Amino acid sequence: MSAPTQYQKLSFYGKAIICFLLLFYVCLIALIALITPSRIAQFMYDLAVEIRRLPYGYFIFMATIVLTSFPPFIGHSTLMNLCGFTYGMQGFIPAAISIVLGSALVFVLLRSLFGDRLRKWTATNEKWGVLEAVIRARGLPLIILIRISPFPPWVYSNSLFASIESVSLTQFAFATLFVLPRVMVYVFVGSRIARLSDGEQRSHMDTTTKFINASLIVASILISVIASSAVYYFVQKEIKLLHSSRSTTDGLAAEAREDAEEAIPLLVYS
């Protein structure tokens, strides 16, 4: 189905939202062109310097990252970039601590306060239900794989695992540690963008240095996208595999438990 056809099928409010978003982005692009990207970058760098001078600047980022771990907030990836933009590679430390702490808080609070509601909601979503069945069947290796996957998004991934009783807090926290390499990439990209944003630093760079910095940014983003796409492919493969034989889900789960007792790897791709 083409985009124009899908647009025509939308309600009045749906069309209004689409038009508003298009107008917003057009105005945003026009504003950036008017102010110029270099001035915006310099403003952001100067702001980062001011935050870096604050005695408790780290805690501002950490509190914000923890907050955006709760649904429906967004901005997880952007905040990782900003940690690197403001503190360089040292920004990885507060980013890593707040990622693990924030996700653990979400897991504990959602499970203890809204566990029943979460289970009722996931029971009405077929795709979410299939994903839960896959996790129960495959165990910890797949929990790790889903944690480093771009799907579900970060905040909803936290909610997903909180709604699955078979996933313990220890498993969840351990799987979250595997997200830290991706966090490091975000922080690294932010630190490189900061160097190119400051006019003074940029004026002391020769063409080769600027090219290397830009290349490192692009390469890091590409590596992150390729890795995320690969992980997403494997997760989707597992979902389709189990979805095609949902009648055997209980058997798969039983086999997975037996494999765990025998210390045999649970996650095997055909």
Domain boundaries, the chain: 40-198+206-261
Distances (CA, A) of 32 to 36, 39, 41, 91, 195: 5, 9, 10, 27, 20
Q: How far apart are CA 147 and CA 179, in angstroms?
A: 7
Whether residue 162 has pLDDT greater than 60: yes
Please compute the mean of the pLDDT values over residues 187-215 and round it to a whole number: 78
Whether residue 92 has pLDDT greater than 90: yes
- How does the average pLDDT of the chain come out, rounded? 76
Longest dimension (CA), the chain: 65
Q: Give the per-residue pLDDT at 256.
A: 39
Whether residue 253 has pLDDT greater than 70: no
State pTM to two decimals.
Answer: 0.69
Burial class of 254 by CB neighbour count within 10 A (0 to 12, 13 to 18, 19+): exposed
Distances (CA, A) of 85 to 59, 82, 139, 198, 209: 16, 5, 37, 11, 18
Q: Give the per-residue pLDDT at 262.
A: 42
Q: Give the per-residue pLDDT at 1.
A: 53
Say if CB 50 and CB 155 are below 8 A apart: no
Please compute the mean of the pLDDT values over residues 227-236 and round it to a whole number: 69
Radius of gyration of the chain (CA): 22
Q: Shortest CA distance to 127 belongs to which of 147, 156, 104?
A: 156
Give 117-159 pLDDT, tens digit per residue: 766 766 676 666 666 777 777 778 888 877 887 767 788 888 7
Q: Shortest CA distance to 171 belongs to which of 155, 147, 206, 200?
A: 147
Q: How far apart are CA 128 and CA 152, in angstroms?
A: 10
Whether residue 60 has pLDDT greater than 70: yes
